[in-house]
Structure 1
């Protein structure tokens, strides 16, 4: 019975099935008496180290089983190294490789590619270089798989000169070698060399096209990225994602949405999580609620109504930035596994839209759930105190941030404190706070004080803030306008004239105003 059970272990089993079979082996005395059955179980378990089944529990179980084999051979080590190198914990692959040497087992041509893959993922340059040395010593550098693994390692995190030297005449017909070298130069920002290699390729595959498109997009060269994208004979979701994400990073958000529309019309390629995250970011920056809702509908269709944490956070951010706080909160509560980013996004979103009480209420709920706040959380909390006029509470949270959570205030926290004091009309305390700051106040801090001085009609503090701003930069028309408006509101026309003359002397002109309004339906 046990022999039949072992022989029919599924190719990609679940952990429960594996443990049941293991228990059956122990009960029937096969675990220690028949190494072949244990070996079969280890080989099967190692397949679970790759892909969505590769949880820490599965990884630990696979290595526990492997440790029970008295004398694992090179094949067994290779199997485990291969699974570990492709798992979320590639460090185990390097550890297993070290164990091979400790046991005086000679690595073969199957060992090196996966150890090098692990070193590449870990960005362990010294270890990878040492592995390279042993590959040379054992005479495996002429092996196609070892050579390509070495090329990928040096191209991605090692020495590009070494990668180029590996790329000899024997590689000229290998499209994987070409793509790896191109990717190395593109990743290091040397697009000129990458493009030269790309143009010299005797045959290009989809990977090589995507490498160049992504390289241009990451460097912000969107015209070149789009030109290559349009020329590519075949496109997959990676191709579309590279250009869409590139547009978003370059703040060409409208072009990103237009390209997605084109992707939808062409058909045959479907958006994935990367696509949707880029689109949500574009909608958030544009304040484009209509397209944001369309992306939300796309997410719900793809995920069958279950939104994961990453997409859920992006949706909350999008709705908050588009001004639809109700929908942002609705999505927030629908996220099953909320992380600190989930809480931060809704707390900050509520705070900056003037919902201070609600923002602080969520912060207290966050603490009750034992989620540890970070520096961004306190930006939202202090902004909420500012909008709600809770000065004493703001001071308490500012002290709590430092004393309990050991978070040193940054310029954003300080800006929120100045804004809070300024809104409350406590301009003396705002100025004192600025003087007590351990970090140099930036233009935003002084502009906040200037704005508060204008609101409360205090010319003296406004003069101090304006003077500091003009020392930093003299070409920001808004600073002059605020000061001019303050003088005008008090009927001090000589002051207005002085500010306008200062603008003219500095060559500063006031930009024309414009507005964009979208109705929420």
Structure 2
């Protein structure tokens, strides 16, 4: 077949190209492709997929150039396409195949945006920094970098980008960049600065208002969030399901149960928005955090649709908070029936068993996880400093100043024990004696990050820590005590919300 000059049957040709491509024989696939009299979209797509899977990105570009001509636009569209399809490594390979002198601002922007949108915020900011060697970012690049800063809670870099935008924008900062600034400041722990940006804006849209409202909710300022919502409604902005979800979220993280129930019940009648699974999950979280687990379960049972995993996960999380083993088992069973590889549900159930001393059940759950190939997401915390962020894992001793970090931590833990702190050993999730449990609690990543922050942060400045999971209960208590004895506000962002520790108090008021 390969020796014939022309392949008349397009279907046969496509099948041959596909076969060779799937076998990794791209030279043979290209021979068939070149000999086909007629080609359709399938022909081209099979070739593009084959070259991509075998890492021959120059050939992908060559194919697109045949169709579209030799143009940067083609390469930029390819990078953007792969990034949006979550093929970020492929997008980066395409990016690297372009000579640095041939990359324009769009080339850089789509790659930075790809990293920002798909969980590689550090790579996004590194690439943003490298970009200045070749060209200057535009407003779209800046917005992508701000998204990365928000993801990492990288306030220092976010401020630098804000300053750059103010210096280099010929006209006013575009609306979409200002929206990113509000979001960035809120997610980096400086909601006051986010409000200043909001107040300075001459134009606002639904995203602007929702970003500020979300920020207030994350920080536990429920009344302020509802005030923003009331203004937004009064001014006639469109109120959709996302807006109402933010309202419920704010109520949940401020303990505003009655207000949350009221808005939930008014969704359809007053706002024309039917509650979806996410709204129910938020209400389960609201009731569960307040200890009203029976009411949360009733709400689930009354749902007009089959409760999806997100709703049961919300209930299971609240069972972990309140130590409700039987209800937690029921919720976990529902989750595994719907999504058997949900790592969070196994971890939560294991933690419930561990906190109540049911070590055989802990071993059973962990064995089940191994059998199913479910891996627990490793916890880590990072603290922002003058020279960037420093990340710690549990029991981390890899830092060059590890001895100093552990000494600072040990000293401060002893000081807070002297004023009443008692380690909450239920949060040491291993079957060991009490002394070892105390040592395990000392190894938690957020405590190590705090010790490093105390060691390196200038006097009076806030220590800013981010944790990728929910903060441990013992660490929360320890941070509250430590904030009484150090000259720093501790600002901790976990997977759920912000905690501002100052003078022995936490802004969450127990709703976390």
Shorter-chain TM-score bucket reads 0.5 to 0.7
Q: What residue in structure 2 maps to residue 255 of structure 1?
A: 123
Q: Which moved more, 1:415-424 or 1:361-370?
A: 361-370
Residues 119-268 of structure 1: pairs in structure 2 closer than 5 A = 195-198=61-64, 204-207=70-73, 210-211=76-77, 213-214=79-80, 217-219=83-85, 220=87, 221-229=90-98, 231=99, 233-266=101-134
Give the aligned CA root-mean-square deviation in angstroms: 3.3
Q: What residue in structure 2 maps to residue 465 of structure 1?
A: 331
For 1:508 and 1:295, locate their aligned partners in 2 and report how far apart those are by CA, in whole Å.
39
Q: Which runs of 5+ in 1 are unaligned?
A: 1-180
Q: Which moved more, 1:356-365 or 1:299-308?
A: 299-308
Q: What residue in structure 2 maps to residue 307 of structure 1?
A: 173
Give the deviation of 1:276 after TM superposition.
1.1
Q: Which has the higher strand share?
A: 2
Q: Which runs of 5+ in 2 are unaligned?
A: 1-39, 52-58, 385-462, 465-488, 490-512
**1:255-286: CA deviations, max 9, x gaps?**
222222222123xx332221111111122222
Q: What residue in structure 2 maps to residue 434 of structure 1?
A: 300
Q: Does the 8 Å contact 1:280/1:315 carry over to 2? A: yes
Q: What residue in structure 1 maps to residue 223 of structure 2?
A: 357
Give the deviation of 1:475 after TM superposition.
3.9
Q: Does the 8 Å contact 2:166/2:173 carry over to 1? A: yes
**1:308-344: CA deviations, max 9, x gaps?**
3211111111122222222222212222111111111
For 1:260 and 1:493, locate their aligned partners in 2 and report how far apart those are by CA, in whole Å.
48
Give the deviation of 1:512 after TM superposition.
3.8
**1:62-85: CA deviations, max 9, x gaps?**
xxxxxxxxxxxxxxxxxxxxxxxx
Considering Cα pairs closer than 8 Å and 6+ residues apart, tell me whether 1 or 2 has the greater RCO: 2
For 2:337 and 2:68, locate their aligned partners in 1 and report how far apart those are by CA, in whole Å.
59
After superposition, the Cα gap between the structure-2 partners of 1:448 and 1:215, relative to the gap in structure 1 and judged at 3 Å, is closer
State the structure with more CA Rg: 1
Give the deviation of 1:293 after TM superposition.
1.3
For 1:415 and 1:376, locate their aligned partners in 2 and report how far apart those are by CA, in whole Å.
13
**1:323-378: CA deviations, max 9, x gaps?**
22222222122221111111111111221232222211221222233323221111
From 378, 382, 386, the counterpart of 1:516 = 382
Q: What residue in structure 2 maps to residue 414 of structure 1?
A: 280
For 2:298 and 2:147, locate their aligned partners in 1 and report how far apart those are by CA, in whole Å.
38
After superposition, the Cα gap between the structure-2 partners of 1:389 and 1:304, relative to the gap in structure 1 and judged at 3 Å, is same
TM-score by length of 2: 0.58
Q: What residue in structure 1 maps to residue 139 of structure 2?
A: 273
Q: Which has the higher helix share?
A: 1
After superposition, the Cα gap between the structure-2 partners of 1:382 and 1:398, relative to the gap in structure 1 and judged at 3 Å, is same
For 2:368 and 2:220, locate their aligned partners in 1 and report how far apart those are by CA, in whole Å.
35
Aligned residues: 336
For 2:199 and 2:287, locate their aligned partners in 1 and report how far apart those are by CA, in whole Å.
32
Specify the SS of the correspondent of 1:441: coil
Q: What residue in structure 2 maps to residue 328 of structure 1?
A: 194
